[in-house]
Copies of this chain bind each other. A is one copy, B any other.
Amino acid sequence: MAQAVRHDAMRARNLAFVLREVRSHGSLTRASLAEVTGLTKTTVSKLVADLLEAGLVVETGAVRAGERGRPGVEVRVSGDRVAAVGLEINVDYLAVRVVDLTRRVRLRLTQAVDNRLSKPMDVIGDLRRLARSALAQAEGTGLLVVGAGLAVPGPVDVESGEIHNAPNLGWRNVPVGAALDLGVPLRVENEANLAALGELWFGAGRADFLYVSGEIGIGAGLVVNGALFRGSRGFAGELGHVVVTPEGPECRCGARGCLEQYAGQDAFLDAVADRSPFAHGIEAIVAHLEQGDPTTEAACEKAGWALGVALSSAINLVDPHTIVLGGIYAPLFPWIGGVVAETIGGRLAQMRATAPPVEVSRLGSEAAALGAAGQVLETVVADPAALSERLTDRRDLGPR
């Protein structure tokens, strides 16, 4: 709140409020919207008319029968007008997802590559081709793509869209935001943060959790009360460098005994003596575990313990309601989930009545790309009036 409120801002807020209520209830009549929002029927009718005209909601022909009286006409969010593109650059794949305003995934494009062997601009070129093809297909079906989000494995300057340092890719100071150039607004963000948002909007749907993204590095995204916590500079969530043993093995970050040394992907690959540059290593590890290989099981035990130690520090500091394990921890969950939960429970038993439950992510490797798209859609829901303006502007400037 650092802005004066005038009539237009009041209307914009109410418009957003109505749209949000429609979304969270699935579908609602004008009458029940009036009840839910506290606005009058008159006002709700006007606002709904605006949303209908903008194509953000549609009337479901179906009228709700049942009680007495005239049946109401329900409106729900329309999936046929607005969409967003979610992109992800990871070590071994590029992913593109087109998601509509109802959060339905309309298009999936994934390309397996090995980005550690490629130059940044080549990778960006590949992604551009993939994304433009997705954009064209989406627009072909009449969708208006309002923007794109890009997930990258490492800290990012969200303002400039520049990647500071993505050690897994070997990238430093790469201006992806400027280089990608898709013709729609682009927002670049850390993969762990976007995966957390993906989990929030497309997964279990809880509003308070710490998402743990296990990859070569280990990141975390904290969602509190439905909002991402980014810290003062946006570098929060570096779970991989939380201390497990202060004098432990040296980490590539320069410190010692960081979680990454115990529970990063390479720690598992070392255990099975398999470090092929292609990251199919996880499947090999799961195969070993399914065969009951004791060495790999011991590695899981150790990693799970270390993850539990680091997470108990995290829980003490940021008090998440739930822990959600994603990335490589999702397939490994049957073997590490228990140890993690036990370690956390053991360390926190006396401090709190109940330790946060440890759950597994349901989205797999899609989480970050979906979160990236979702973040764009969220800007539409937060200010539908801005979109209507853009639409009318475009119409004014269009062919006559």
A-to-B contact residues, CB < 8 Å: 1-7, 9-10, 13-14, 16-17, 37-39, 208, 220, 224-225, 229-246, 252-256, 309-310, 312-314, 316-321, 346-352
Do the beta carbons of B1 and A351 come within 8 Å of each other? no
Contacts of A220 in B (CB 8 A): 317
**Complex: how many Å from CA A245 to CA B347?**
12
With a cutoff of 8 Å between Cβ atoms, the chain B residues found around residue A352 in the complex are 235
What is the minimal beta-carbon distance from A56 to any residue of chain B, in angstroms? 18
Q: Could you tell me the distance between the alpha carbons of A17 and B348 in the complex, rounded to whole angstroms?
A: 43
Residue of B nearest to A231 (CB): B319
Report the copy number of this chain in the oligomer.
Answer: 2
Q: Which chain B residues border A348 with CB–CB below 8 Å?
A: 253, 255
User: SS class of chain A's interface: helix, strand, loop or mixed?
Assistant: loop
B5 touches A236 (CB 8 A): no
Q: Which of B9, B312, B318, B347 contacts A231 (CB 8 A)?
A: B318
B14, B236, B246: the one contacting A317 at CB < 8 Å is B236
**Which residue of B5, B256, B317, B321 contacts A10 across the interface (Cβ within 8 Å)?**
B5
Q: Told that A238-B351, A253-B348, A254-B351 touch, could you supply 17 new A-B pairs with CB distance under 8 A?
A: A4-B13, A5-B9, A9-B10, A208-B232, A231-B318, A232-B319, A237-B317, A242-B316, A242-B317, A243-B243, A253-B351, A254-B349, A255-B312, A255-B348, A255-B350, A256-B347, A313-B317
